[in-house]
Amino acid sequence: TGFFSKLRAGLKRTGSGLGQLFSGRQSIDADLLEELETHLLMADVGIEATTQIIDDLTARLKRNQINDPDSLRTALREDMLAILEPVAQPLVIPQQKQPFVILTVGINGAGKTTTIGKLAAKLKQDGHRVVLAAGDTFRAAAVEQLKVWGERTDIPVISQPTGSDSASVVFDSHQSAIARGADVLIADTAGRLHTQANLMDELRKIARVLGKQDENAPHEVLLVLDAGTGQNALAQAEQFSEAVNVSGFVLTKLDGTAKGGVIFAIAKRFGIPVRFIGIGEGVEDLRTFNAEAFVDALLD
Ligand code: GDP
């Protein structure tokens, strides 16, 4: 399917031939684990997750539980799933009268607007009534881009002129969503302001303002990260989670990066659900994160 071919295109580079490590080998020679470790580190799996995997494989080898390349591959698959499965928790939108509010955060270029457009389309297709809030009032282009998605998917976008107060746009959008009987509000936010501190203050304020209309809002804070930025994505996750209560990750651009392994590093470090992955620019290219499908594409 499109899913596997697109994901594999990127992951082939990510694993730098992880699958090939095992094929065509008759036995496990001394170098194999070392080679595997190098592959994992190069794919940005990170020290912690790589160490966990290699230590476990080493222990299993010592106990003679692994005897050939095939059983090593099976054990590796299990170790990878053990890291990813706990965070493979899909976003579930409960039935409720108040709109379910999704606050979307992330730095410019991460794929935030595109993700919002794809997610809105997906939710609409599932029968939800969606309203979008153009909360990135800092960049005119961001509002325009969101409107294009809104037109394409026939979903209302609430906006104010560039330079307006972002929290006020989001507050208005929340009211508008309630008035329209919408059951999902997805709010865009700025990905860059004059300073990092400004941005984080603004995000805190938006979260606070949403809580005024519904004490449980935002119900989901989605942090969008470009997988291609590798370990840098970890630093962003640290910064954003200090400001707002990040409850889910979206990893974008997994179709075109050799650093897709960062998903293991993120899973290990934060233990926060990975809700979706982006595997292209099209409306159908946002997928619910599935640990098995991901690992199998990686080991293919
Ligand atoms: P924002 O600044 O965070 O709102 O980022 P955008 O949504 O504008 O995305 C930045 C660029 O990345 C755009 O050219 C998008 O089409 C592209 N993009 C977003 N997600 C993906 C993805 O999953 N795969 C690929 N290949 N490109 C993506």
What lies within 8 Å, CB to CB, of 198 at 6+ separation is none
Averaged pLDDT for residues 198-216: 95
Residue 285 to residues 141, 176, 259, 293, Cα–Cα distance (Å): 22, 29, 18, 15
Closest ligand 1 atom to Cα of 145:
8
Q: What's the gap in Å between 112 CA and the centre of ligand 1?
A: 7
Q: Per-residue pLDDT averaged across 25-49, rounded?
A: 89
Does the pLDDT of residue 16 top 60, yes or no? no
For tokens 């200090």, the residue is: 242
Residue-wise pLDDT for 59-73, tens only, equals 999 999 998 988 999
Distance from the alpha carbon of residue 48 to the mean position of ligand 1, in angstroms:
29
Helix (H) or strand (E) holding 79: helix 69-84
CB neighbourhood size of 278 (10 A): 24
Contacts of residue 86, Cβ cutoff 8 Å, sequence gap at least 6: 267, 271
The predicted structure's pLDDT at residue 23: 77
Report how far residue 266's alpha carbon sits from residue 260's, in angstroms, rounded to the nearest whole number. 11
Nearest CA to ligand 1 atom 9: 111
3-state DSSP call for residue 18? coil
Output the CA 95–ligand 1 centroid distance in Å: 30
Cβ proximity of 187 and 195 under 8 Å: no
Would the CB of 192 count as within 6 Å of ligand 1?
no
Higher per-residue pLDDT: 126 or 193: 126
pLDDT band for position 298 (cuts 50, 70, 90): confident
- pLDDT tens digits for 222-248? 999 999 998 899 999 999 999 999 999
Q: Which of 93, 52, 57, 69 is nearest to 18 (CA)?
A: 69
Q: Which of 157, 100, 159 is nearest to 131 (CA)?
A: 157
Rg (CA), the chain: 21
C-beta of 284 in contact with ligand 1 (< 6 A) = no
* Interface confidence (ipTM) of the complex: 0.99
Q: In this predicted structure, what is the pLDDT of residue 78?
A: 98
Confidence (pLDDT) at 117: 97
Q: How far is the CA of 256 from the centre of ligand 1 (A)?
A: 11
Report the C-alpha gap between 150 and 142 in whole angstroms: 12
**Nearest ligand 1 atom, CA 114:** 7
Distances (CA, A) of 227 to 45, 129, 264, 292: 11, 30, 11, 18
Contact 136, 188 (CB under 8 A): yes
Ligand 1 centroid vs 111 CA: distance in angstroms?
A: 4
Q: Is 135 in the pocket of ligand 1 (CB under 6 A)?
A: no
Each residue's pLDDT tens digit, 85-124: 999 999 999 988 799 999 999 999 999 999 999 999 999 9
Q: Which residue has the tokens 């002129």?
A: 161
* Ligand 1 site, residue 118, Cβ cutoff 6 A: no
Q: Is the beta carbon of 253 within 6 A of some atom in ligand 1? A: yes
Q: What is the pLDDT of residues 144-188, one digit of tens each?
A: 999 999 999 999 999 999 889 999 999 999 999 999 999 999 999
Q: Whole-model pTM?
A: 0.94
Q: Encode pLDDT of 258-297 as tens digits.
A: 788 999 999 999 999 999 999 999 999 999 999 999 999 8
